[in-house]
Structure 1
Amino acid sequence: MANTGRTFQDPRSKSSPNLRITGESMGEFLPGETQALQSRLEIQEVMIQLFIHRSVIEPILVPAVVEPLLVLVLAGAARVEERALGGEWEAVEVNAGDFFFTSSDEPYEMRWQTHGGDTFEVMHLYLGLPLIEHASRELSGHHAGPVRLRDVSGARDGRIAFFMEQLRTELVLERSPSALFARSLAQALAVHLVRSYLAESQLGRRVNALQVYKLRKVTDAMSAHLSAEFSLATLASLAELSEYHFSRLFKRATGLSPSQYFIRLRMVRARHLLLETRLSVIDVGLAVGYSSPSHFSQIFRREVGVTPSEFRGS
C-alpha cells in the first residue's frame, strides 16, 4: 500500500454543482491516501479503488458519478455525515463490513470522524451501467431502459460484502486474475442490487408503458444504427404508433425520451471504443454518429462528465 503523492481537488473550484465524473476521476476529489493496486487487469464496466481516510472536519463536495458507486468499509470505524446541497446533515456510525451505495446524479457533501484510530479503509467499486441494465432486463423483462436504484448509507448486506471482497481478492491479490471471473462476480452483484435496492418509484410493473416486445424491437434498432441520424418517425413506425404516443409510452417504460435513450446508447458505445480500441477520438465520434468533433466532445462531456480525451486518459 502506498500514498500516490497526489493532492485532492475541490470540485467547487472546477465546475458547477452539476458536476458529474467517471469513477476513474474520484480519487482527485477525495482527501486521503490511495492504496496501490498490484493488478493491472482492466475490465470494462468494473473498476475498484482503495482509500485510506483520516478525519475530515471541513465538508467536502463529492461529485455525482456516472456509474453506480458502492463503498465498502474494509477496516476501522467512523462517524460519517452526509447532506444534499443546502440540506440537513444526516449521520451514521460505520464499521468494517458496512457499505454505502449511490447512483444519484446530484453532488453532495460529506465529512467524517474516525474512531479508535487515525484512519479507516474503504473500497470503491464502480459498476458500468450496462451491467445494471442487463440485470434489470434479465429479472424484469418489462424494463429494458435505465434503472433507478435507491441510495444507501451505512447499511450491512452480507452478499454485497461477499461479492466486493471477492472482487478485491481477484483484482488486487490474485497473482493471475481472471477477467471472466471478475466480470461474473460484478454481474452477480448487479443482479443483487436490482433485486434488493430498486427505487420505490420503479417497484412494480409500469402501467401504460410500451410493450416489452416493442421496446426491445426499438432499442435493438437503436443499438444497430448508432452512427445513423436519430429518427423519431422511424422508431415510432417500428412500434406501430404515432410519434406522440410512442414518445410518451417509451418514456414511461425507460424513464428517458427516445432521443435521450439513443444518446445514452451512443455514449456507452463511445466509452467502449475509447477504452478498448485505438481509434482516434474523431473516428470514435464518427462511429457513434457525430461528424463534428466539437459536437461529439460537447455531448460526451455533458453525459459522462469529462471530454473523450480526458476519459481515455491522454
Structure 2
Amino acid sequence: MKPIERTSPRGLEAYIRGECLATSDELAGRDVLVQIFNRERQEESVIVPAVAEPLLVWIMSGTAAVQERTLGGEWQTSVVSQGDFFLTTSAEPYEMRWNVSGADAFVVMHIYLGIALLEKAIQETLDGPGAVRLREVSGGRDDVLSVLLEQFRTELTTRHGGSALFLQGLAQCLAVHLAREYLDDSADDIARRNALPAYKLRRVLADMEGNLQKEFSLRALAEAADMSEFHFSRLFKKATGHSPSQFFIRLRMARARQLLLETDRSIIDIGLDVGYSSPSHFSQVFKRQVGVTPSHYRK
C-alpha cells in the first residue's frame, strides 16, 4: 500500500519548514528574486544566510512574535502582522525564530534586489556614486512599500506565470523607494562584493534539495554556482555558517525529520530517500544531528 502523505511538500529554501507558494526564479533574472512562503506556525531556529543582496521580508498574513539575533547573541523580539516588514543587509548569517498567534496562516514574501539595480537607484538618489548601504529594519511599516509588494504578489499568483518585464519594472520602483527612504550613510558598501549572490545560493540549494539521495559532490555545486570549488566553499560557509558538506547533511536530516513525522514510510525507506543505504549509518548520523534516533523522533 502506498504510504500516507500527511502534509503538502516543503519548499526548497534551505530547511525552513513550510510551503513555497510562488517564486520568480525563471522570470526576472538577476534584477530581483521573489519568493512567497506559507510558514509553519512555530519555528524554533532558522539560520538566515548572509548574501550580497539585501533581504526584504514582508508579512502578507498572520500575526507572530518574531525573534532575531546574531549567532550566539541576545534575542530581539518584534510582534508583526500583515503589512509589516523586515529589511536586513547583514554581512553575517543570523538566527530567527517565531510563534504565530491567531487563526490566520503565516504567509511571507522574500525579495532580494540585484546589487547593480540597487546601486543605480542609489546613484540617482545621491546624484552620483556613494559608498552606502541600506539600514536594518525589524517590524517596520511602510504604506508605499506595501503597495509595491502587493503588485509583486498579484503578478506572481494571479497572472498565469507572470511577466518578467513587469517584475523588472516593479523592481526598479522598489529599488528607488528603498534608496530614497532607507539609506544608511554610516555603512561602507552595499555591494559586499565578496559575498555569495542570492540567485547563486538559491540555485545551489535547489540542486542540493533535488539530489539528497545522491553522493555529495562539491564539484557539481561549484559548477552550479559558476565558481571554483575553493571560492564557492569559502563564500557558502560565510553565507550560511556551514560548509557545503555540513549543510547538505543538515538538509538530509531536515527531509528525514519531515518524512518521519508526515508519512508512514519505513525508517529504512526514509534513510534510502536521503542517501543512506545502511540503516545503522542513517541512524548514527540522525542521532548525531538531531539528538535522538529516527524511531524515537517519530514517537
Instruction: Give the alignment's TM-score, normalised by structure 1.
Output: 0.57
Contact 1:39/1:177 (8 A) holds in 2? no
- Quick check: 1:298 aligned with 2:227? no
Structure 2 residue runs of 5 or longer lacking an equivalent are: 1-6, 204-218, 244-299
Out of 4, 7, 17, the residue aligned to residue 31 of structure 1 is: 17
Q: Which residue of structure 1 lines up, in the alignment, with residue 80 of structure 2?
A: 94
User: In structure 2, what is the Cα distance between the partners aligned to 1:299 and 1:87?
Assistant: 28
Out of 117, 123, 144, the residue aligned to residue 159 of structure 1 is: 144
User: In structure 1, what is the Cα distance between the partners aligned to 2:123 and 2:61?
Assistant: 35
User: In structure 1, what is the Cα distance between the partners aligned to 2:72 and 2:143?
Assistant: 33
Task: Give the direction of change, closer, same or farther, for the CA distance of 1:108–1:174 in structure 2 (3 Å limit).
Answer: same
Deviations 1:250-294 (A, max 9, x none): xx8x689xxx96x78xx88x97xx9xxxxxxx9xx9xxxxxxx9x
Out of 65, 71, 79, the residue aligned to residue 85 of structure 1 is: 71
Contact 2:69/2:96 (8 A) holds in 1? yes
User: In structure 2, what is the Cα distance between the partners aligned to 1:255 and 1:176?
Assistant: 31
- Quick check: 1:121 aligned with 2:107? yes
- How far did 1:41 drift? 2.9
Deviations 1:203-247 (A, max 9, x none): xxxxxxxxxxxxxxxxxxxxxxxxxxxxxxxxxxxxxxxxxxxxx
- How far did 1:60 drift? 2.7
Task: Give the direction of change, closer, same or farther, for the CA distance of 1:132–1:300 in structure 2 (3 Å limit).
Answer: farther
Out of 174, 181, 190, the residue aligned to residue 189 of structure 1 is: 174
User: In structure 2, what is the Cα distance between the partners aligned to 1:161 and 1:90?
Assistant: 24
**Percent identical residues:** 42
SS of residue paired to 1:113: strand
User: In structure 2, what is the Cα distance between the partners aligned to 1:103 and 1:127?
Assistant: 11
Contact 1:64/1:104 (8 A) holds in 2? yes
- How far did 1:301 drift? 4.7
Contact 1:38/1:173 (8 A) holds in 2? no
Task: Give the direction of change, closer, same or farther, for the CA distance of 1:36–1:186 in structure 2 (3 Å limit).
Answer: closer
Out of 33, 46, 51, the residue aligned to residue 32 of structure 2 is: 46
User: In structure 2, what is the Cα distance between the partners aligned to 1:121 and 1:63?
Assistant: 20
Aligned residues: CA RMSD: 3.6
Task: Give the direction of change, closer, same or farther, for the CA distance of 1:129–1:255 in structure 2 (3 Å limit).
Answer: closer
The 5-angstrom pairing of residues 158-237 of structure 1 reads 158-175=143-160, 177-202=162-187
- How far did 1:136 drift? 1.2
SS of residue paired to 2:133: coil
User: In structure 2, what is the Cα distance between the partners aligned to 1:143 and 1:163?
Assistant: 25
Where relative contact order (Cα < 8 A, 6+ residues apart) is larger, the structure is: 2
* Letter of the structure 1 residue corresponding to residue 133 of structure 2: R
- Quick check: 1:105 aligned with 2:91? yes
- How far did 1:106 drift? 1.1
The 5-angstrom pairing of residues 272-287 of structure 1 reads none
* Letter of the structure 2 residue corresponding to residue 131 of structure 1: L
User: In structure 2, what is the Cα distance between the partners aligned to 1:302 and 1:149?
Assistant: 25
Out of 117, 121, 137, the residue aligned to residue 123 of structure 2 is: 137
* Letter of the structure 1 residue corresponding to residue 159 of structure 2: E
Deviations 1:44-65 (A, max 9, x none): 3211111112233523322223
Structure 1 residue runs of 5 or longer lacking an equivalent are: 8-24, 203-251, 275-281, 286-292, 308-314
- How far did 1:36 drift? 4.6
The count of aligned residue pairs is 211
